[in-house]
């Protein structure tokens, strides 16, 4: 299989505008005759559904929650990047493009990333018009703050609730189209399979999570906006309901899965405190603007802190190691996430951690409070400080926060071309569900940017171009493809058979699905986490078959056919085990370090990620070959015409 990215020719700055001018259009009268299925209602899904509805298409939008406003995009805190250059500190479209390419360790496409940077300003205009309450300066101008991997202030924010406010804006636009009759909303639905007819995506099979009923939905195109697969690690900053099932089932129907080993570990999260936890809590990267990261310089001080004999205030400044500021003086505490996370692990591995488990570092606001006052700090981060205090019982105004890295985001996803279309014609993947923009590491505040760029400004053009070129209306004038097509019954029968088999096998199970899920998470963190080795990856590949056998033979599944969380989880965990195995194979195959993928065998003398551009400057796209058969690897060469490949340095 030859992977064609479809990136237009011509100057980088003109690719997107020229391409839009060459696209075919669907007339207003014909748009209402086309049905587009949008799976997911977070920022990518809600913005895409609202925009396609506004254009006149018939849209069916699905969400796993009881309301679109509960989508996990709501949990994003710190901000959204855009190249407005309001602080007049030298930002530009090219600088945002370059920072994103460099932050991703030169493992993303130039064309896609430049388009993202180019559209970023329009996103802010759109959201302001919707009434999103971005922070403003005293004179009324929109405020900006800094995020990791950049030396300019380009991040727009709404205190620590940016994702929530952006989602409410998209939700309002979506509701307007629901009221207008252009969008039909289906809540509490989980997509369980993709229906492919004549080689094209033509619909989905979903399960009503309340009644248990399987349902068929037909359309002319399907958009997957279902987020990432970070929950394969069990503990992550993602909501417990977040899962990779929709993307994985589409993968089994022919959509290649790209760069699955690229996983982001966020450096500022509240450390795990017990086995009872089902998720971890993110503390926004924006806190690193004013918070200083440190650990005790001496091992005896660290042990005293771990054992409760000393507190942070007992460690004098000369005995504190501000390791990011010392190692990376140009960027300090605002190095990219992969760099900050690896360094936190490194100092904790040296025994310098500051909680009883030895797995935490300090994030200290003492200097910021002295400089700006408590009220000044509270104006910026008050809700984040309140959340930290409620969860930990400690007052971050009086003592440093304790933080540690956690799984947060997945840069890998379904392979898509410049149109955001997968290798299954008519199946598009938007936002975190695709692989296209962030390479091996995503910069902070870029996820919201990508989701809204894809939904508001890219997919509405490229989906229309696909529909116009497919000419469905003429081809199906006499016999349109609907839910009554035999392929829908065939796929639904396969889904039902799998559900029946899961219930039957779980009738006499003796083990909780959650216990198996935790075992999977432990294996993923141990061998496919922040540091990977050839030995560890080969070992974990022997663990996955045992976990799968345990799940199939011993998992206890209640027999309810309607509302049944354990039935849902069993199916998702099966997908996670298969996906975890692919992540490990991809990590084993990529014998280099880049961004969030750190192979211990490939590092510089200073312990930084060492790329191998000669052998690995490509996107790895894996093809499903059937259960029990190894995936087949396809490579899309990454071509750099505007950026010179160099060893990343933030020093």
Residue 147, classed as helix, strand or coil, is coil
Q: Are 38 and 50 in contact (CB under 8 A)?
A: no
Counting residues of the chain whose pLDDT is more than 90, the rounded percentage is 96
Counting residues of the chain whose pLDDT is more than 70, the rounded percentage is 100
Out of 107, 154, 202, 337, the active site residue is 337
Instruction: Give CA angle at 237 (232, 238), nearest 5°.
Output: 60
Pairing of strands 35-39, 58-62: parallel
Provide mean pLDDT across the span 252-274. Answer: 95
In the block, tokens 């910026």 appear at 380
User: How sure is the predictor about 554, in pLDDT bands with cuts at 50, 70 and 90?
Assistant: very high
Instruction: Give CA angle at 359 (357, 363), nearest 5°.
Output: 125
Residue 17 has pLDDT above 90, yes or no: yes
User: How sure is the predictor about 494, in pLDDT bands with cuts at 50, 70 and 90?
Assistant: very high
Known active-site residue 18? no
Provide mean pLDDT across the span 581-600. Answer: 97
Residue 274 has pLDDT above 90, yes or no: no
**What is the model's pLDDT at position 606?**
87
CA–CA distance, 413 with 256 (Å, rounded to integer): 9
**What is the model's pLDDT at position 273?**
85
User: How sure is the predictor about 617, in pLDDT bands with cuts at 50, 70 and 90?
Assistant: very high
Provide mean pLDDT across the span 58-66. Answer: 97
Residue 147 has pLDDT above 90, yes or no: yes
User: How sure is the predictor about 127, in pLDDT bands with cuts at 50, 70 and 90?
Assistant: very high
Residue 393 has pLDDT above 90, yes or no: yes
DSSP state of 328: -
Average pLDDT, the chain: 96
Provide the CA 617 distance to its chain's centre, in angstroms: 22
Domains and CATH numbers, the chain: 266-405 (3.90.700.10), 486-617 (1.20.58.100)
CA–CA distance, 403 with 558 (Å, rounded to integer): 38
Instruction: Give CA angle at 504 (542, 506), nearest 5°.
Output: 55
**What is the model's pLDDT at position 574?**
98
User: How sure is the predictor about 649, in pLDDT bands with cuts at 50, 70 and 90?
Assistant: confident
**What is the model's pLDDT at position 478?**
84
Write the pLDDT tens digit of every residue in 315-349. Answer: 999 999 999 999 999 999 999 999 999 999 999 99
**What is the model's pLDDT at position 424?**
98
**What is the model's pLDDT at position 651?**
87
Write the pLDDT tens digit of every residue in 108-122. Answer: 999 999 999 999 999
Write the pLDDT tens digit of every residue in 349-369. Answer: 999 999 999 999 999 999 999
CA–CA distance, 416 with 420 (Å, rounded to integer): 5
Q: Are 631 and 582 in contact (CB under 8 A)?
A: yes
**What is the model's pLDDT at position 166?**
97
**What is the model's pLDDT at position 160?**
86
Write the pLDDT tens digit of every residue in 447-474. Answer: 999 999 999 999 999 999 999 999 999 9
Identify the weakest region by mean pLDDT among 266-275, 435-444, 480-489.
Answer: 266-275
CA–CA distance, 48 with 174 (Å, rounded to integer): 9
CA–CA distance, 323 with 302 (Å, rounded to integer): 14
Residue 45 has pLDDT above 90, yes or no: yes
CA–CA distance, 196 with 214 (Å, rounded to integer): 17
User: How sure is the predictor about 276, in pLDDT bands with cuts at 50, 70 and 90?
Assistant: confident
**What is the model's pLDDT at position 7?**
97
Q: Which of 405, 393, 400, 307 is nearest to 356 (CA)?
A: 307
CA–CA distance, 190 with 571 (Å, rounded to integer): 11
Distances (CA, A) of 153 to 53, 82, 150: 35, 9, 8
- Residues ≥6 apart with Cβ < 8 Å to 140: none
Provide mean pLDDT across the span 626-637. Answer: 96
């Amino acid at each position: 299989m030859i992977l064609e990215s479809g990136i237009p020719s011509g100057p980088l700055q003109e690719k997107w505008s020229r391409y839009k001018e060459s696209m075919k259009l669907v007339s207003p009268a014909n748009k209402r005759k086309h049905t587009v299925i949008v799976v997911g209602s977070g920022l990518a899904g809600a913005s895409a559904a609202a925009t396609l509805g506004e254009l006149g298409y018939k849209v069916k939008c699905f969400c796993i929650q009881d309301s679109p406003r509960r989508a996990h995009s709501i949990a994003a805190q710190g901000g959204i990047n855009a190249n407005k250059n309001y602080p007049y500190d030298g930002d530009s479209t090219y600088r945002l493009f370059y920072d994103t390419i460099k932050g991703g360790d030169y493992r993303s496409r130039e064309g896609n990333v430049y388009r993202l940077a180019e559209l970023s300003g329009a996103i802010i205009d759109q959201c302001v018009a919707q009434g999103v309450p971005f922070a403003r300066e005293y004179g009324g101008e929109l405020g900006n703050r800094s995020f990791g991997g950049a030396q300019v202030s380009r991040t727009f924010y709404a205190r620590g609730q940016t994702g929530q406010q952006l989602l409410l804006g998209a939700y309002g636009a979506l509701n307007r189209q629901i009221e207008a009759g252009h969008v039909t909303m289906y809540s509490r639905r989980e997509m369980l399979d993709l229906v492919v007819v004549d080689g094209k995506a033509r619909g989905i099979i979903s399960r009503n999570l309340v009644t248990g009923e399987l349902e068929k939905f037909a359309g002319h195109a399907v958009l997957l906006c279902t987020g990432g697969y970070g929950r394969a690690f069990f503990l992550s900053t993602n909501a417990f309901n977040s899962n990779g099932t929709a993307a994985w089932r589409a993968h089994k129907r022919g959509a290649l899965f790209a760069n699955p080993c690229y996983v982001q570990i966020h450096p500022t999260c509240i450390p795990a405190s017990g086995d009872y936890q089902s998720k971890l809590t993110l503390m926004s990267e924006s806190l690193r603007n004013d918070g200083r990261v440190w650990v005790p310089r001496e091992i005896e001080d660290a042990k005293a802190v771990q054992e409760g004999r000393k507190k942070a205030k007992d460690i004098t400044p000369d005995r504190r190691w501000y390791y990011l500021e010392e190692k990376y003086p140009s960027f300090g505490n605002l190095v990219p996430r992969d760099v900050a996370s690896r360094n936190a692990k490194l100092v904790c591995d040296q025994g310098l951690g500051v909680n009883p488990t030895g797995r935490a570092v300090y994030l200290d606001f003492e200097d910021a409070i002295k400089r700006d006052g408590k009220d000044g700090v509270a104006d910026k981060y008050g809700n984040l400080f309140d959340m930290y205090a409620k969860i930990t019982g400690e007052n971050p105004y009086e003592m440093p926060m304790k933080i540690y890295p956690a799984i947060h985001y997945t840069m890998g996803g379904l392979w898509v071309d410049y149109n955001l279309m997968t290798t299954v014609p008519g199946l598009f993947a938007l936002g975190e569900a695709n692989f296209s923009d962030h390479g091996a590491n995503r910069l902070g505040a870029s996820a919201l940017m990508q989701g809204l760029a894809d939904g508001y400004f890219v997919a509405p053009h490229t989906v229309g171009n696909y529909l116009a070129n497919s000419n469905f209306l003429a081809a199906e004038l006499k016999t349109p493809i609907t839910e009554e097509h035999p392929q829908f019954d065939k796929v639904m029968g396969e889904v039902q058979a799998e559900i029946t088999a899961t219930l039957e096998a779980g009738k006499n199970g003796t083990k909780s699905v959650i216990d198996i899920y935790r075992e999977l998470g432990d294996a993923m963190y141990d061998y496919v986490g922040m540091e990977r080795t050839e030995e560890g990856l080969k070992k974990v590949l022997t663990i996955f078959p045992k976990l799968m056998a345990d799940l199939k033979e011993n998992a206890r599944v209640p027999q309810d056919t309607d509302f049944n969380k354990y039935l849902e989880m069993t199916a998702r965990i099966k997908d996670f085990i298969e996906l975890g195995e692919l992540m490990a194979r991809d990590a084993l195959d990529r014998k280099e370090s880049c961004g969030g993928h750190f192979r211990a065998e490939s590092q510089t003398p200073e312990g930084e990620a060492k790329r191998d551009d000669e052998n690995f400057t490509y996107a790895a796209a894996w093809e499903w070959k059937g259960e029990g058969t190894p995936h087949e690897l396809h490579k899309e060469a990454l071509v750099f015409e505007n950026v010179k490949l160099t060893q990343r340095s933030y020093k």
